[in-house]
Homo-oligomer: A and B are copies of this chain.
């Protein structure tokens, strides 16, 4: 990220960063409700140090789930190529939901992304992934033209508000179906 010759980062800084990430990875593995204070303490650094490395909770979590987020982003064009557009879209949605359910952090990142908007390193690529799927469908004529990927991302963010305790998976699938139906181009029938 800064391999420039601007000045090599100090060793202790690097060590601390790694230690924080390791502790955070373990602490946030599944749970989520872990305080940064706790992570800092466990990592043996001051809270100030943690915050210098990761200016807010989200950026720490992004770092942890970088890999997974990227996977989702890469998956979209792959699906678009190997499946009919509607199927690709739906499958991608499922995958996003699945990741969010599985790895707490992915959900948090995506959710936060809809707030932060353009600041976030992954915001644009994520939108791009959605755009690929939407374009494929539009080209084929099964999805509406001119859909805004940001609108779709927002709609997806509903996923993280579903209470997993009560029919989480089923409800998620149902809602994703509703969303996809909303994106479809209506059959050009006669009626108004």
Are A191 and B187 in contact (CB-based, < 8 A)?
yes
Q: Mark A167-192, 1 if CB is under 8 A from B, else 0.
A: 00001001101111111101101010
Q: Is the CB of A157 within 8 A of B158?
A: yes
User: Smallest distance from the beta carbon of A93 to chain B beta carbons, Å?
Assistant: 13
Do the beta carbons of A154 and B158 come within 8 Å of each other?
yes
Contact of A174 among B114, B148, B180 (CB under 8 A): B148
Q: How large is the interface on A (under 10, 10 to 19, 20 to 34, 35 or more residues)?
A: 20 to 34
Q: Please name all residues of chain B whose beta carbon is closer than 8 Å to the beta carbon of A182 when the two chains form the complex.
A: 177-183
Contact A151 B166 (CB under 8 A): no
CB distance from A169 to the nearest CB of B (A): 13
Copies of this chain in the oligomer: 2
Q: Is A163 in the interface zone, CB < 8 Å from B?
A: yes
Given known contacts A179-B182, A187-B186, A154 and B148 CB-to-CB distance under 8 angstroms:
no
Complex formed: what's the CA distance from A186 to B154 in Å? 24
Whether A174 lies near B151 (C-beta < 8 A) is yes
Q: Which of B154, B162, B163 is in CB contact (< 8 Å) with A161?
A: B154
Cβ of A44 < 8 Å from any Cβ of B? no
Other than the given A114-B161, A186-B186, 15 more pairs (CB < 8 A) read A115-B161, A117-B166, A148-B171, A148-B174, A154-B171, A155-B155, A155-B158, A155-B175, A155-B179, A157-B158, A157-B161, A178-B179, A178-B183, A180-B182, A187-B189
* Chain A 115-152 interface 0/1 with B at a Cβ cutoff of 8 Å (1 = within): 10100000000000000000000000000000010110
CA distance A37 to B115 in the complex (A): 26
Asked if A117 and B163 sit within 8 Å, CB to CB, the answer is: yes
Q: Which residues of B contact A115 (CB under 8 A)?
A: 161, 163
Contacts of A148 in B (CB 8 A): 171, 174
Chain A residues numbered 23-58 whose CB sits less than 8 Å from any CB in chain B: none
